[in-house]
Amino acid sequence: IEQITKQQAHIDRLYVSLKDLVEQRKTKLEQQYWLYQLKREVEALEKWISEREAVASSTELGQDLEHVTALQSSFTQFSTETRAVGQKQMDSVNKMVNEMIDCSHSDAATIAEWKDGLNESWADLLELMETRSQMLAASYQLHKFFTDCQEVLVQIEGKMRQLPEVRSCQVSSANPGTLQRLLHSFEHSLQLLVSQVRQLQENAAQLRAIYAGEKADAIFSREQEVMQAWKELLFACEGSRVQVTTVTDKIQFFAVVRELSIWMDGIMGQIGSTDDARDLSVLEGMMSQHQNLKSKIDNKSKNIVHCVEMGKMLLAACNPAAEEVKEKLEYIMAKQKELNERWEQHWEKLQEGQLQSTQLGSSEQSWLTIKEPITPNIREAGGGTDEVEELIRRHEAFRKAASTWKDHFNSLRQVIMESKIYAYRPPSSLSAPVSRLDRPRARDRPKPRRRPRPKEPEEPRRSRSAPAQSVPSTPHPPTHTVHHEGFLYRKHEEEGKERSPNSKSWVNLFCVLKQGEIGFYKDARHKTTPYNDEPLLNLAICEFDTTNGYKKKKNVFILSLKEIEEIAKWEKATNSSTDPDKSERKERSEGAEPSEGAERSERSEKSERSDRSDKIEASDKSSEKRDTSEKENGDRGGRGERGERGERERGERGDRGSRGSSTSGKSK
């Protein structure tokens, strides 16, 4: 039993020893298995890394930008995939290696070497891929630089081809604004090229730092080609700008010349448009207008000086159109000189006309004054035969002298009528009230009875009445051209009479203002029938008053007539008291029998007139020659006084004939 027990214990020991050996063998086999497994993983990963390294170490950089772009795109995809897959496999192998080392693998040293070698290969692959990426990026920049240079050159060539079109527009267009806008638009389109050229210069500097050798030379050569083309374009643009400026200045100069020429033609037309006038008031108006033209010319002289300076600057700048500019410059200077000369000539002409106008009518008035005593009085025709024959001879001589002066009086009458028409303004008849009324005109006075007279002396009497209008006491209304129609409210009042109930009411009447006279009618349909058979009212002998203090209605004025008869009586009384001869003649005309003393005074007066007529005939010849010496001017002044006395006598006779009834009224 002991032996069996020993044997059993020995067997147990052997079994335990066998069991340990089996466990050791199993562990060793398992370690060997994982070692082979790791080795296979490491070898497979190294093979994969070596394949990726072959792709990453490629030196293909592309032939052009499109090729480089394709290579860069494919390598980017390759790099992304390699990083993702390789990193995953590397993590798995490193994890396995770490576990085997942690399990105290018998080949832990070998496993560590494998790990280090694998990690080093992976790092090399990553570095190769990074280098390849950088090389492809640099190649892309290089080929992009060449492509951009080519595009910029194409654009520069296109702009160079556009310049002839711009220049042709400069030749065809005559508007400076259009040329400026065209050039501004062209220069604005160059701003994009400016930024592109600057970017090319920066890229060229970066690429020259990366590349060397042939590629660096190619980069420099391409850059210089682009810059040379760019400089040529800028030079051409500057030439076009100068050309546009030149054309613009020329067009502006021509426009200023044309404007000034038209203005000076208009001024010269105004200078030459006025007719000769011998009336003093008309001449004064013409001289005032001529001075206004001088002010306009002086104000415009600055523009003319500026135009001349502009033309001289164009000539100094050697403008291509220098001949045309010189011609225009000479033209405007000659035009200015002609304008000034014409103004001076017309000014001298106006001054001469003013001097002549001051003497207008003096010779005719002097002649009338001299011839006044020759015309016989009515009482002189009743003398003896000798006296009648003497009167006939004197009248024959008077007729001959009057026929030579007929043209002078006709021209004087025409000038006076023209001056009245020119000086008349329609509102003037109502704008200022008339201070007093003149004596009735000769044709409006009742003519006194006179003895029959031979018809021959009537012609000089008519010729004498014409120049008498040249010196009226107040000018009669000229020919009116204004014609107005419309309704007005009127209330008629008569001074010195009791007011009727109807005169207190306002009446709406249709009024017609024509030829200086106003008429009142019931309405527009009855313009042929005056209201209440009222005659036309001459506004020239009316007073116009707006300061009447009437506040019940707006825009009320008083139109009043003067007491003509009272004024005539007052003038007759004054003339009778101051002129004894006139009062004596008045008594005789009224039927008073003259006394013997009056007859003697009448005979002495006739003898004096006969003696004076002989002297007058001698002076008549000198007056026809129109002598302008100071002595004759003095004689004319004396004769003018006698003419005024004759005019007063004629007015006295007219006053005696105009003695009758007159009415005055006032209308609102």
What is the pLDDT, as a whole number, of residue 576?
40
> Mean pLDDT lowest for which of 40-54, 57-71, 394-408?
394-408
Cβ 276 vs Cβ 257: under 8 Å: no
Res 113 pLDDT > 70: yes
Q: Residue 275 region, left (φ>0) first, then alpha (ψ -120 to 50), else beta? A: beta
The percent of residues in the chain predicted with pLDDT above 70, rounded, is 62
Q: Given the structure tokens 């008291």, which residue do they identify?
A: 577
Integer Cα distance of 53 and 47 in angstroms = 10
Q: Which domains does the chain have, with CATH numbers?
A: 2-147 (1.20.58.60), 252-358 (1.20.58.60)
What is the pLDDT, as a whole number, of residue 176?
64
Q: Which position has the higher pLDDT, 503 or 390?
A: 390
Q: Given the structure tokens 């494998």, which residue do they identify?
A: 114
What is the pLDDT, as a whole number, of residue 231?
92
Res 478 pLDDT > 70: no
Highest mean pLDDT among 47-61, 160-174, 391-405, 420-434: 47-61
User: HSE (CB half, 13 Å, CA atoms) of 422?
Assistant: 19
Exposure letters 401-421 (e unless 16+ CB within 10 A, then b): bbeebeebbeebeebbebbbe
> Mean pLDDT lowest for which of 12-26, 400-414, 417-431, 527-541?
417-431
Integer Cα distance of 568 and 206 in angstroms = 119
Dump pLDDT digits (tens) for 588-609. 333 333 334 444 444 444 444 4
Res 339 pLDDT > 80: yes
What is the pLDDT, as a whole number, of residue 150?
92
Q: What is the mean pLDDT of residues 276-289?
A: 72
Exposed/middle/buried for 447, CB within 10 Å: 0-12, 13-18, 19+?
Answer: exposed
Helix axes 2-56, 65-102, angle to 10 degrees: 170
Q: What is the mean pLDDT of residues 381-392?
A: 72
Dump pLDDT digits (tens) for 558-596. 877 765 544 444 344 334 434 434 333 333 333 333 334
Other CB atoms within 10 A of residue 146 CB: 16
Which residues on neighbouring strands pair with residue 518, listed in sequence order?
A: 513, 537
CB neighbour list of residue 53: distance below 8 Å, 6 or more residues apart: 121, 124, 125, 128
Instruction: Please report, in angstroms and rounded to a whole number, the separation of the first and last CA atoms in the chain.
Output: 183
Cβ 100 vs Cβ 110: under 8 Å: no
Integer Cα distance of 94 and 100 in angstroms = 10
- Looking only at the bridges linking them, the beta strands covering 537-538 and 558-561 are unpaired
Cβ 274 vs Cβ 288: under 8 Å: no
What are the phi and psi torsion angles at 133 (to 5°)? -65, -45
Integer Cα distance of 26 and 31 in angstroms = 9
What is the pLDDT, as a whole number, of residue 128?
92
> Mean pLDDT lowest for which of 123-127, 155-159, 302-306, 464-468?
464-468
pLDDT band (50, 70, 90) for residue 213: confident
Task: Provide the token pair at 304.
Answer: 């003319």
3-state secondary structure of 242: helix
Q: What is the pTM of this model?
A: 0.44
Q: What is the mean pLDDT of residues 162-168?
A: 67
Of 397, 390, 407, 392, the residue nearest 371 (C-alpha)? 397
Integer Cα distance of 604 and 581 in angstroms = 13
What's the chain's average pLDDT?
Answer: 71
Task: Provide the token pair at 31.
Answer: 């370690």
What is the pLDDT, as a whole number, of residue 225?
92
